[in-house]
């Protein structure tokens, strides 16, 4: 114990910032994941592997993919801008926040309208493998997921503002939609009606969006009154970075819809099976890797802003190796405990012992991605802090192409498990690419502060 304490004390302040931020994020994620697990247990009890869960999984994935993609881009390119904004003019910073919020509202309203109007075409194109009952339920669910597109974008902006201050309470509030769905499902026990899923989703996203906006305004010290204009000096750099990143993020965002399309064409409630396995997998991915990734970006951006790019690279590589090993240990433990975990979470009510075996088999193949996902996420944050968005976009496109090929090869051979294994192969390629880029290219990054040096 004394050795561990001495090692922690010997860490530089920046390592401690990442470690303490990751601990907070992991704690919030753990609470949120417990809420999500409770929601999934309630959904499994009420709906089992059925048309309702097929419709919910399909609609959630397909309707969320573009809003989630945009939020992913903003989370990467906006946080370094906001971190550097603390060194600049406060009035311009406030105007920039107000302008980006106004454009996000406009974009969110457009996306909500498009989702609702174009959903029949989406079902005809990507949901042909769903039953007529599931297709009807999916159309009903767009009444929640169309406005949720706007709310997701607003939540993403508020979350980025909080993370720029190294405040990670937004991670805890990610569980609000799950809690709302849980309460609605428990209050209304009908199995064949998607009403509880619809209203829980809509109300949960609304509460989360309003709550995060209030917290972000307190952190910044201003609300950022919406201005539908482009007057801030920060727009050119942000637009250029976002445009490049959007290419890669759009490519990667197609992974979810491709998986849903592939599963829908496998039939036999493959969408529901994939969804249950993915939800358990997200617990490990979130707590194990996302916690470090979310905590690292503002710290690395601050170090880059101080002009110490070499130190930032060394720090990221050390964390990457540590996370790779942690991911391998988690994957091995998860492989052994998969049937027990699935049974503990889901096996009750309409979810049978046979369903447990099927979902556990798919989950085991999904665990292949853990070491590579754990290891690569910190390197993604490093390249983002260095503004290497073109390289990140190229790697993302390569990942998507490999994933599409692997899905077409492995899914017909292995069924739903092949979809999960294809994701593991994709993240292995991603990890190799990022390590090569980080090691071979010289460190670089924007310097925005001249009066700060690296603390030791």
HEC assignment per residue over 323-373: HHHHHHHHHHHHHHHHHHHHHHHHCCCCCCHHHHHHHHHHHHHHHHHHHHH
**Cα–Cα dist 158/216, whole Å:** 5
pLDDT value at position 279? 78
User: CA nearest 119: which of 69, 63, 164?
Assistant: 63
Answer for the pair 73, 237: CB distance below 8 angstroms, yes or no.
no
Q: Give the tens place of pLDDT for each residue, 314-348.
A: 878 888 888 889 889 989 998 998 889 888 878 77
Q: 279 or 337, which is more confident?
A: 337
- Mean pLDDT in residue range 384-413: 86
The counts of H helices and E strands in the chain are 17, 0
For 192, the 3-state DSSP assignment is coil
Q: Across the chain, what does the average pLDDT equal?
A: 79
pLDDT value at position 27? 67
Percent of the chain's residues with pLDDT above 70: 79
Does the pLDDT at position 30 exceed 90? no
Give the length of the chain: 456
Q: 131 or 16, which is more confident?
A: 131
Angle between helices 291-305 and 309-346 (to 10 degrees): 170
Answer for the pair 94, 286: CB distance below 8 angstroms, yes or no.
no
- Mean pLDDT in residue range 24-53: 74
Write the Ramachandran bin of 48: left for phi over 0, alpha for psi from -120 to 50, otherwise beta: left
pTM tops 0.75, yes or no: no
User: CA nearest 282: which of 291, 272, 271?
Assistant: 291
- Mean pLDDT in residue range 80-97: 72
Q: Is 410 exposed, middle or buried (0-12, 13-18, 19+ CB in 10 A)?
A: buried
Answer for the pair 252, 34: CB distance below 8 angstroms, yes or no.
no
Does the pLDDT at position 86 exceed 80? no
- Number of neighbouring beta carbons within 10 Å of residue 188: 14
């Amino acid at each position: 114990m004394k050795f561990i304490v001495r090692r922690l004390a010997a860490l530089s302040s920046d390592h401690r910032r990442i470690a303490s931020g990751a601990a907070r994020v992991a704690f919030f994620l753990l609470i949120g994941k417990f809420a999500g697990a409770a929601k999934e247990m309630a959904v499994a009890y009420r709906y089992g592997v059925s048309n309702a869960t097929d419709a919910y999984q399909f609609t959630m994935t397909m309707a969320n993919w573009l809003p989630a993609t945009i939020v992913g881009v903003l989370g990467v390119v906006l946080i370094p801008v906001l971190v550097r904004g603390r060194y600049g003019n406060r009035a311009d910073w406030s105007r920039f926040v107000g302008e980006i919020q106004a454009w996000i509202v406009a974009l969110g309203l457009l996306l909500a309208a498009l989702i609702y109007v174009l959903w029949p075409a989406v079902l005809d194109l990507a949901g042909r493998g769903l039953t007529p009952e599931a297709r009807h339920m999916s159309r009903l669910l767009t009444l929640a997921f169309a406005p949720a597109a706007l709310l997701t974008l607003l939540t993403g902006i508020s979350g980025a503002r909080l993370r720029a201050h190294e405040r990670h309470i937004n991670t805890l509030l990610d569980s609000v939609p799950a809690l709302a769905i849980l309460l609605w499902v428990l209050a209304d026990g009908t199995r064949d009606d998607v009403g509880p899923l619809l209203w829980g989703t809509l109300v949960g996203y609304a509460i989360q969006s309003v709550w995060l906006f209030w917290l972000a305004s307190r952190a910044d010290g201003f609300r950022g009154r919406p201005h539908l204009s482009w007057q801030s000096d920060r727009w050119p750099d942000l637009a250029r970075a976002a445009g490049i990143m959007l290419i890669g993020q759009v490519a990667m965002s197609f992974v979810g819809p491709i998986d849903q399309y592939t599963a829908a064409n496998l039939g036999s409630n493959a969408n529901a099976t994939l969804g249950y396995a993915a939800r358990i997998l997200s617990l490990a991915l979130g707590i194990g890797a996302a916690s470090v990734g979310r905590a690292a970006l503002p710290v690395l951006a601050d170090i880059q802003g101080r002009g110490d790019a070499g130190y930032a690279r060394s720090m990221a590589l050390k964390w990457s190796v540590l996370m790779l090993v942690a991911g391998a240990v988690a994957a091995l433990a998860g492989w052994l405990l998969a049937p027990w975990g699935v049974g503990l979470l889901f096996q009750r009510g309409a979810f049978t012992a046979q369903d447990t075996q099927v979902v556990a088999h798919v989950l085991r193949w999904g665990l292949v991605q853990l070491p590579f996902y754990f290891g690569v996420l910190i390197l993604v944050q490093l390249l983002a802090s260095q503004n290497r968005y073109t390289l990140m976009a190229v790697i993302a496109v390569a990942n998507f192409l490999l994933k599409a090929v692997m899905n077409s090869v492995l899914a017909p051979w292995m069924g739903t498990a092949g979809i999960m294994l294809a994701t593991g192969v994709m993240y292995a390629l991603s990890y190799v690419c990022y390590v090569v880029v980080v090691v071979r290219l010289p460190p670089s990054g924007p310097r925005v502060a001249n009066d700060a040096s690296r603390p030791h």
